[in-house]
Structure 1
């Protein structure tokens, strides 16, 4: 019997111990890449990048920068979710060029929206823009975790890592990026203590308010 979506969400947990001998197939990795690309972001701007690490030696170097959490060493791949260091007018213009090219939308229709968006971002300070970008990144993280559950891929989202050291080691800073979330993905080790623990949730009746 195939598992339902809810069954798969129950199956998912933040994996603490990965089986280092089990590697994601190219097809599974492709699904995660496409998920990252297709997730909704505000205005469709996608102020994000995804770095993927599979090299065992590099994963070992990342482990002490992740407070020695073994998931980084043992997972099949490490996904590093990053935001752009800045969003400028050129970034927004490039987005509208893609819209025009793919949808063949006339410039007369696009130009007012383009100008409005440029004007809006010009009024924001760097901290406001960074907060906005991080909000978009967490939308993507949620999508990745859900797709991982559906595809029976184990994952463990991590905020506990040294972002600046990651960026320097991986050259992300030179690419104008800042790492925000580390997401090891792969397959659970059957000895992981957390596999059979029940989920602790507040429950639908407490969390959901139906307004009539």
Structure 2
């Protein structure tokens, strides 16, 4: 039940303690957890920006509905995906498979051919939606890992991606921001800190088949 207790402890922090900072070890855990997130076909389209710069965080707060979590958090994580996506990513993935697993071409090629065709038949708009879905998988994983590591967080969609892209110069890297996750430590006077979690009864959200 320890995992459940940790998830009970977690909540979307409304006020961070701006005097406390995550250790390098804690940030490394979050980086590795992001990298280990399950993604469709294992393609890992998302990128993670780790920001610890109060000047930049202040600038981004103005494009985040002035939510102070963006600047008061120890670090600001921004999950991004490619603005345009091509079959080159498929080739890069299978190159990595061969490098790590030494998988023969005769085994790789049928799946590579299939996946290349899947990418080619999708529009850039469809690929962007698909990759955004992968970003949400990464966010869910990070939230759970944060809870397990006693790191506070606040998942956010309330920001202006175009402005984030501009401030962080993401266009130059063919990226666009999708999700924001301030991480750090809750302030002791956060009004949400001691409130009971509001959730439906398990029987209302889980359907059992036997």
TM-score, structure 1 length as denominator? 0.97
Inter-partner Cα distance in structure 1 for 2:79 and 2:160: 14
- Following superposition of structure 1 onto structure 2, how do residues 62-141 of structure 1 map, counting pairs within 5 Å? 62-141=60-139
Question: Which residue in the other structure is 1:199 paired with?
Answer: 197
SS at match of 2:88: helix
1:143-184 deviations in whole A, cap 9, x for unaligned?
A: 000000000000001101010111111111110001000100
User: Which residue among 15, 32, 35 is the counterpart of 1:34?
Assistant: 32
Question: Which residue in the other structure is 2:141 paired with?
Answer: 143
1:211 Cα offset (Å): 0.2
Question: Which residue in the other structure is 2:18 paired with?
Answer: 20
1:120 Cα offset (Å): 1.0
Give unmatched runs, 5+ long, in structure 2.
none
Question: Which residue in the other structure is 2:188 paired with?
Answer: 190
Inter-partner Cα distance in structure 2 for 1:9 and 1:35: 17
Moved more, 54-63 or 75-84: 54-63
Moved more, 37-46 or 106-115: 106-115
1:8-64 deviations in whole A, cap 9, x for unaligned?
A: 100000000000000000000000000000010010000110011101111111111
| Residue 152 of structure 2 corresponds to residue 154 of structure 1 | yes
CA RMSD of aligned residues (A): 0.9
1:186 Cα offset (Å): 0.2
The alignment of Structure 1 onto Structure 2 pairs a total of residues equal to: 210
Inter-partner Cα distance in structure 1 for 2:63 and 2:199: 31
1:126 Cα offset (Å): 1.4
Inter-partner Cα distance in structure 2 for 1:57 and 1:90: 36
Inter-partner Cα distance in structure 1 for 2:46 and 2:171: 13
Inter-partner Cα distance in structure 2 for 1:45 and 1:115: 15
Inter-partner Cα distance in structure 2 for 1:143 and 1:203: 23
1:67-116 deviations in whole A, cap 9, x for unaligned?
A: 11000110000000001112211111000000011000001110111111
1:6 Cα offset (Å): 0.6
Q: Segments of 4+ in structure 1 off by > 2 A?
A: none
TM-score, structure 2 length as denominator? 0.98
Inter-partner Cα distance in structure 1 for 2:163 and 2:67: 15
Give unmatched runs, 5+ long, in structure 1.
none
